Amino acid sequence: MSAVLDLPGLRAGVAAVRTSGGVLFHDAQRGQVFFVGGERSSKGAFAWLERNGLLAGAPVPKRRRRDSQIYLLRRDQAPDVGFTLWGDVRFSCVSCGESCRGMAIGPLLAADVDRLLEQDWSGTGRDPAAFFVDRDGNAASPEDLEARRDLFLHRADDACQFLRPDNRCEVHVRFGAEAKPNLCRAFPVQLRASPSGVIVGMRLGECSSAEVAGRGTPIAEQVGDLQVVYDEMEEVPVLPPQIWLSEECLLTWADYEALERRLFERPAADGVSFLLAALAAVEERAGLAPAGPADPSLLDALEEPPARERSPLPLARAPDLPIAAAALALEARLGQLAVFGKDAFQHSDAASGMAQLAIKAWLARRRAQGLAAAAGAEATTPAHLNQAWKEAAQAPLRRELAVRRVSPRAIAERLRLRTRI
């Protein structure tokens, strides 16, 4: 079921979706969304739409680019038509503790703070007043704590304060999973509302035990828990009813989903080729001329270790070490999850987004080969690839390409030529 509404009289570039609290209007040209609450009368809503230039007859404004096609909105402003899952996606935490060490946990929801403070900590030696810090790791001010504003969990010994020596969460052990912060219960699931349902994405590559954890409990059996997590969220990421495939091509949500379904019908031997195929499908649908390949030296430059303070890509040049079949299968899975989770929409258009996903997958593969070589391994394993994907997830590739003033599609075309895909 789709929440997209067929409303006559809207200006070109404007589409509407039904939400639990009213109607959300998306103006793709201006890169804005407008919410009309259900309490407004039809006459009042019409006048409001007219004043905001959303009705037919109003001039079509020049397109205003956004860095992302995903909007962060109140939950009642998001389409509410159930969850959308892909394939037999699975996950179960294996208590490796790595994410609890590597992630800054926050900002917390007000409900997270309330739950932690409401628990009985007597006899534990813990001081609830010291649980929370600001973004910089400093003790939270009384004002921020009172307002439940921009709070993070305190870290101890480079890990969450609640991580025990056995790699289990003390909050979970003492009080149950429901007492943990919202983002801890959700990880690595990523929920994004769309016109056809809340997309249950998976940041599996950011889990240090992806290969094993990804064989756990089917996500379809965890929907009840995810519903609780979603209902607690004060704001949710929302995908609009229209998607920019390129600078000039605007596609309806239904047409984009049809394109994606055809993409998933193809077998995926590895993540790099799958993501390059996804880019090619987007380019073809958008009628884009092939991008001219970038200078070959640019790919080498992206692999160079940081030689100056400004260069943050932690991806070093690596030998062409063989890649185990299981590692390629994991890479394919991670690439597919990135597309299904709509990670490409974190960019101004889907073509640029797909190109950058493909480039990051390739950089992660090269980094994994380097890790394997440094360890004296004969082949690149899933563990090497998993570690490299975690690093690549944090690499600011968009900034690097902007500094070099090179199109991500041009880099992807050079990559396609180099890998013969």
Higher pLDDT, 398 or 332: 332
Structure tokens given for 411: 């880099």
Rounded to two decimals, the pTM is 0.92
235-257 mean pLDDT: 96
36-40, 171-175, 388-392: which is most confident: 171-175
Of the chain, the percentage scoring pLDDT greater than 70 comes to: 96
Q: What digits encode the pLDDT tens for the residues 350-379?
A: 999 999 999 999 999 998 998 999 899 999
Of 115-129, 194-208, 299-313, 402-416, the poorest mean pLDDT is in 299-313
Query: What's the pLDDT score for residue 403?
Result: 80
Phi/psi of residue 81, each to 5°? -130, 40
Please check the confidence at residue 311 and state whether its pLDDT lies above 50: no
Please check the confidence at residue 70 and state whether its pLDDT lies above 50: yes
Please check the confidence at residue 305 and state whether its pLDDT lies above 80: no
8 A C-beta contact, residue 351 and residue 402: no
- C-alpha distances in Å from residue 212, one per residue of 10, 200, 270, 382: 49, 20, 18, 10
Cα 301 from Cα 200, distance rounded (Å): 35
Structure tokens given for 273: 């080729």
Q: For the CA atoms of 50, 52, 55, 61, what is the dihedral angle to 10 degrees?
A: 140
**Mean per-residue pLDDT over the chain, rounded:** 91
183-204 mean pLDDT: 95
Of 3-7, 197-201, 315-319, the poorest mean pLDDT is in 315-319
Phi/psi of residue 349, each to 5°? -150, 160
Helix (H, G, I), strand (E, B) or coil at 81: coil
146-174 mean pLDDT: 91
Query: What's the pLDDT score for residue 309?
Result: 44
User: E strands within 42-177?
Assistant: 71-74, 83-84, 132-133, 152-153, 155-156, 159-160
Is the Cα dihedral 242, 389, 283, 311 positive or negative? positive
Please check the confidence at residue 266 and state whether its pLDDT lies above 80: yes
* 308: confidence class by pLDDT, cuts 50, 70, 90: very low
Structure tokens given for 30: 């201006």
Helix (H, G, I), strand (E, B) or coil at 143: helix
Nearest to 20 by CA among 253, 236, 342: 236
Of 95-109, 171-185, 280-294, the poorest mean pLDDT is in 95-109
8 A C-beta contact, residue 371 and residue 383: no
Query: What's the pLDDT score for residue 316?
Result: 52
